[in-house]
Amino acid sequence: MLDGLGLLLGGITHFLTPLSLFNIAWATLLGIVIGALPGLTATMGVALLVTLTYKMAPDQAILCLMCIYSGAIYGGSRTAILLAIPGTPASAATTLDGHPLALQGKAGLAMGLATTSSALGTIIGIIALALIAPLLAEAALKFGTYEFFWLALFGVVISGQLTAMDDPLKGYIAGILGLMVAMVGMETLHAHQRFTFGISALGGGVDLIPAMVGAFGLAEILGVMKRTVHARIVSSGDRVVPKFNEILKYWRTTLRSGIIGTFVGIVPGVGEDVGAWASYAAAKRSSKEANLFGKGSQEGLIAAETGNSAVVPGAMIPTLTLALPGSAAAAVLIAAMFIHGIRPGPLLMTESPEVLYQIVAVLLFSTLAILIFGLTLTKPLLTVLAVPRERLMAVVYVLCVVGSFAITQRMFDIYVMVFFGIAGFILREMKFPMAPLVLGIILGDLLDLNLRRGLMLTNGDPTPFFTRPISAVICLIIVFTILMSIPAVSKRVKAVLGRGKKEEIPKQA
């Protein structure tokens, strides 16, 4: 424990240099701007910035990317409140109450509360990150080949299930497609080339960064340019800095949303949007003023913003300790860490324990920056929202091209970007979620290698996959998740549970 505190202090002081503080300031501000611009998402921002931070020292590069990530998740709230368009998918729940508040002339209050709730949500997540990650890393040291196979499968299945709530089948399909993409190229057990069709560039497999730039960049550009709607900005001159009692009035909601958000973050591949919706729904269910939700409830706004911001540090927990990305943006961060020679996973805490605490420190600093920028830069951020998307998207596409080209300097990566952009757009239009796809690409190798390595160790006997305790538990969860997503099964289970409840009620009366 004391060790941890020492390392945390070390992490904080490590970044108390002028260069680091400067990087924190610009990266967080850029993140907020990216988040505020509709059509630019956190994942896209992080993916594009990997190129720009390529030549930096590893700690500074990760610092910039983390600041952009958390800044963008916050920045989307600005657009949600003033334009009723979520700046990033994470702020979709924020629009429900943020925009009505703005229409009532309380835009300033809404922006202020969104800022403070985001900060509080991140802090709850940071505490969880600092406490849980070391424990999980220690537990993960016991994980072997068999467990990692199930974990990879679990990540894809749960992400498919939760990111496509109303149609898990499409989530699973997206996950399988992602895993299939990962099968292309040289496999690591016997160094055999799979599905390369004689194209030498495919030998190394499909790189994650160009694929992500396509799926979250070009696909997003196509989605934005498809629409012709123009939103009007609501402006108002009321006070932005909220009073203490306004922040603390709903402290239960803040705490609950923070914990829900962190938990959603820990679940692999389930990101900020789900965190916001889950905590919004929970707040509505337990609120005394549930009828105000959707009509400008401050509590609803707080729940949504705390929930989505808590996901960011929460997502870093499995990302750092298991190399299982907690969200789509975290998947890009894993790729970026590998580029910079940091290897996330169970060994991180033994190899370089300072990385975890440096990330905790970065998140603390970026929260502080979000508070300062969010409460002071109201007017300049308004001008950002007025940028016409016709002009913006042209420039963004140029960045997509350069961003996917620059890391390995191959034209092939640009083609990969274009392919994933078009495929991603079509899949998105047909309501296939993107997160399981991305998770599949990053976890495919882990799944493939560990399944076959396990079979090699036992000389073809699959029993350890089912008999080792941790493996058995994860396997059961996967089977249960898939079964529950089949409508016929879940209906029957619910009916059985429902009958149990009905029988209990008379007893209580």
Contact footprint for another protein (CB under 8 A) = 51-52, 54-55, 84-86, 89, 92-93, 95, 166-167, 169-170, 172-173, 176-177, 179-180, 183, 187, 189-190, 192, 194-195, 218, 221-222, 225-229, 273, 277, 388, 390-391, 393-395, 397-399, 401-402, 405-406, 409, 411, 414-415, 418, 422, 425, 429-431, 447-448, 451-453, 455-456, 459-460
Picking from 14, 277, 253, the residue whose alpha carbon sits closest to that of residue 124 is 253
DSSP state of 37: S
Residue with Cβ nearer another protein (366 or 471): 471
Please list, in sequence order, all residues whose beta carbon lies within 8 angstroms of the beta carbon of residue 131, skipping any fewer than 6 positions away. none
Distances (CA, A) of 19 to 72, 331, 374: 21, 27, 22
Closest distance to another protein from the beta carbon of 444 (Å): 8
Got the DSSP string for 48-99?
HHHHHTTTS-HHHHHHHHHHHHHHHHHHHHHHHHHHSS-SSGGGHHHHHHHH
**Could you tell me the CA-to-CA distances from 205 to 92, 188, 192, 257, 441 in Å, in that order?**
35, 11, 12, 40, 10
**Which is nearer to another protein, 266 or 414 (by Cβ)?**
414
User: Among residues 299 and 413, whose Cβ is nearest to another protein?
Assistant: 413
CA distances in angstroms from 199 to 121, 202, 422, 491, listed in the order given: 47, 6, 21, 48
Q: How far is the CB of 32 from another protein (least distance, A)?
A: 20
**Closest distance to another protein from the beta carbon of 357 (Å):** 30
- Tell me how crowded residue 459 is: count the other CB atoms within 10 A of its CB: 6
We find the least distance from the C-beta atom of residue 247 to another protein, in angstroms, to be 26
**Alpha-carbon distance 143 to 429, whole Å?**
39
Least distance to another protein from the beta carbon of 235, Å? 20
CA distances to 234, 301, 375 from 23, in Å:
32, 30, 20
Q: Which of 249/415 has CB closer to another protein?
A: 415
- CA-CA distance, 128 to 125, in Å (whole number)? 5
Compare residues 258 and 454 and give the one whose CB is closer to another protein.
454
Indicate the residue among 354 and 415 with the shorter CB distance to another protein: 415
Residues ≥6 apart with Cβ < 8 Å to 118:
73, 74, 77, 305, 306, 308, 309, 367, 370, 374
Comparison of 3 and 166: residue with beta carbon closer to another protein? 166
Q: Which is nearer to another protein, 184 or 356 (CB)?
A: 184
SS3 431: coil
Q: Which is nearer to another protein, 415 or 477 (CB)?
A: 415
How many residues does this entry show for the chain? 509
DSSP 238-259: S--SPPHHHHHTTHHHHHHHHH
Work out how close the CB of 361 gets to another protein at its nearest, in angstroms, rounded to a whole number.
27
Instruction: Quote the least distance from Cβ 127 to another protein, whole Å.
Output: 27
Q: Report the nearest approach of another protein to the CB of residue 448 (Å).
A: 4
Please report how close the Cβ of residue 348 comes to another protein at its closest, in angstroms. Answer: 26
Comparing C-alpha atoms, which of 395, 439, 419 is closest to residue 161?
439
- Based on CB atoms, which residue is closest to another protein, 177 or 255? 177
The closest alpha carbon to 392, from 273, 211, 220, 212, belongs to: 220
Cβ 252 to another protein shortest distance, Å: 25
